[in-house]
Structure 1
């Protein structure tokens, strides 16, 4: 990963809008395939879903690790950018928080197989957890603060604790088709509300 903050998944300065859009489509296709088949899914499946040739994927992402990192970063960015947008467009800050947590759960669920890849010996994955926290903790804090200031939730809820709790609820969901973490997360988020 470069020190300039640009790495796989971050648009380079001057990249044409259509090239960024195509890369975004490719990353979303890869995320969807990873969610159903894991990060070791065949590249041809990702290419088919994105409607591109395999050469296009290899041109953008020469190694599988490059693609995994780009998908992860793209999803983190999508989740981070959604927070302020939801706060501006939702009827209440609590509604924005609940909708953002839904997106966060979607992000966690699409990480199928990514956890194992992140624990691998590949040093390219080392900075991703810090990146995840740096981008998403402030967004979650902003949403929690807005909902608390509006009197909709209890005060003093820490973003890290909430995100860690949601993450723990989502663990193992892919191994048990009877378990729907979204229902449990809904209960958790409902429990944040101020009584009465």
Structure 2
């Protein structure tokens, strides 16, 4: 199940505000302040730390089965998507990534598949990263500039590939996210990602 996307952006406060207005809840904020990583989680608001020049590594928002994260970057850059899988599915995807000569990194929290297309795929087996609710990522539209991407990703992800729509054009980019439970929404977030309400 698609559940997640992550990007880097200079528009941290604006991005958080956009998603909160659509019903997302801030789960955590972790940033470097005075040389150390510290939490700036709710109930803290931006008024409490806006002038402290915190370098945010991650801000995490959740709504139902949707988990969105972003951190500071000089310009908006799409980094990875995340899929909830069983342990068996995870092992199968890792094996197929090896057949494709794609690398992977694993730790106790998650696994990342390193695609050759300029983005990563997170494999997550822990359901604690999503909440109860009727919101879910129904489809993601990606642009990739290599012609074999759709076929290779379909092979890698097997049954999970159907919710990822690939077009071959320009640089790698996350163009559109179809999310259920957003009540007719169709507008772009501050990073140019179009969010569309899915039925």
| Fold match (TM-score > 0.5) | no
- Choose between structure 1 and 2: higher strand proportion: 2
Q: Which is richer in helix?
A: 1
TM-score by length of 1: 0.27
Bigger Rg over Cα: 1
